[in-house]
Amino acid sequence: MQYTPKRTKHRGGREAGSARAGADLSFKLAFETVVGIVNSRQSTYGLSCFSREQSENVYENKG
């Protein structure tokens, strides 16, 4: 599969559309993977600090 530059997306061709859909799908998969890694890391060592910060924000919002 050949790499297509970004400017070919605006041509409106079927190939450009399928390439963009594939790129969006791969980007979504990569994004979900990164989010999963970040969430797992937060749950291991950053959850206590994060929850404390969140509760403080809730109290501040209540006034």
**Predicted confidence (pLDDT) per residue in 31-51, tens digit:** 888 888 777 766 555 555 555
Is 19 exposed, middle or buried (CB count within 10 Å of its CB: 0-12, 13-18, 19+)? middle
Mean pLDDT of the chain: 65
- pLDDT recorded at residue 24: 81
Q: How far is the C-alpha of 59 from the C-alpha of 62, rounded, in Å?
A: 5
- pLDDT recorded at residue 55: 57
Predicted model pTM = 0.33
Q: Give, rounded to a whole angstrom, the gap between the first and last alpha carbons of the chain.
A: 58
